[in-house]
């Protein structure tokens, strides 16, 4: 068999993909991402959180065998672990990979499981960023469920992003509004995360997620009272966000 042609630089491919698929709908963007040779080897990363089932369902319709990375920080709500199993089985996903931090790393840096009290950034790096980086080695692109309405750091989100000139990050739901998410879940009769009904519209690790009052931003319960919006696995302007966002970088 002939060898595959090397991929063009990430920035060049991202610009071309955004131009080519600018007016496509979410499902079409996902389908193209799974099949376009410019994207390369691809995986979906899912938290199995409040809205994750939408993208997981789309993927199951297009390719149930596509790799799905689930980062188990070992500090998740029990309800999230149960939901992950339920959704994976219901959708027939055949390649869900549970990603965790190395035991040696946890023993060295967080033996008592209390690192989040000292530094949420360090805890996220240990339990999310490093394990995910390991899991994505060998992949050229990954799919996320991020949307523009989810906060200032996501307000200008494109379908395709350049992640540090190393990989392409794909956001098929970037242009969706909150009602689009709810409508899709209702129309496809998708199971809800059990914590949503209890006042958790955005769900992360148990120690760093609190209930959200009516009228609050849905992500207000994530790292409450901290100058922090992202866990560190997402990039802005090609730079990983692991701490408070510098002023002016939210555009």
Per residue in 130-166, pLDDT (tens digit) is: 999 999 999 999 999 888 876 655 666 889 999 989 9
- State pLDDT tens for residues 94-105: 999 999 999 999
Query: Residue written as tokens 């919006």?
Result: 229
Inter-CA distances, 181 with 53, 106, 167, Å: 10, 36, 27
Inter-CA distances, 157 with 122, 126, 149, Å: 26, 26, 9
Tell which residue, 242, 18, 212, has the closest CA to residue 129: 242
Please calculate the CA angle 189-194-198 and round it to the nearest 5 degrees. Answer: 125
Helix, strand, coil: what percent of the chain each, to 5? 40, 15, 50
Give dist(CA 51, CA 1) in Å, integer: 41
CB-based contact 149:171 (threshold 8 Å): no
Phi, psi of 94 (to 5 degrees): -105, -5
**220 compared with 101, residue with greater pLDDT:** 101
Helices and strands (DSSP H and E) totals, the chain: 9, 8
- pTM (two decimals): 0.84
Catalytic residues: 231
pLDDT bucket at 47, cuts 50 / 70 / 90: very high
Please report the domains of the chain, with CATH numbers, ordered by start residue: 10-240 (3.40.50.620)
Tell which residue, 159, 60, 69, 75, has the closest CA to residue 117: 75
């Amino acid at each position: 068999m002939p060898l595959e042609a090397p991929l063009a630089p990430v920035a060049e491919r991202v610009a071309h993909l955004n131009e080519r698929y600018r007016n496509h709908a979410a499902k079409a963007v996902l389908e193209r991402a799974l099949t376009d040779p410019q994207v390369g080897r691809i995986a979906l990363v899912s938290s199995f959180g409040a809205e994750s089932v939408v993208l997981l369902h789309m993927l199951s319709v297009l390719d149930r065998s596509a790799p799905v990375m689930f980062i188990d920080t070992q500090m998740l709500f029990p309800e999230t672990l149960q939901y992950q199993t339920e959704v994976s089985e219901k959708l027939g996903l055949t390649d869900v990979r549970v990603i965790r931090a190395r035991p040696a790393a946890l023993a060295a840096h967080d033996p008592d499981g209390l690192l989040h009290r000292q530094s949420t950034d360090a805890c996220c790096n240990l339990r999310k960023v490093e394990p995910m980086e390991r899991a994505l080695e060998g992949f050229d692109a990954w799919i996320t469920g991020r949307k523009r309405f989810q906060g200032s750091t996501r307000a200008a989100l494109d379908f395709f992003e350049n992640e540090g000139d190393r990989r392409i990050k794909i956001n098929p739901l970037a242009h969706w509004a909150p009602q689009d998410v709810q409508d899709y879940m209702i129309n496809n009769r998708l199971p809800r995360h059990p914590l949503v009904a209890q006042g958790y519209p955005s769900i992360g690790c148990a120690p760093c997620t609190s209930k959200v009052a009516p009228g609050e931003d849905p992500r207000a319960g994530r790292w409450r009272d901290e100058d922090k919006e992202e866990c560190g696995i997402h990039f802005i302007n090609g730079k990983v966000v692991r701490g408070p966002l510098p002023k002016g970088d939210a555009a």
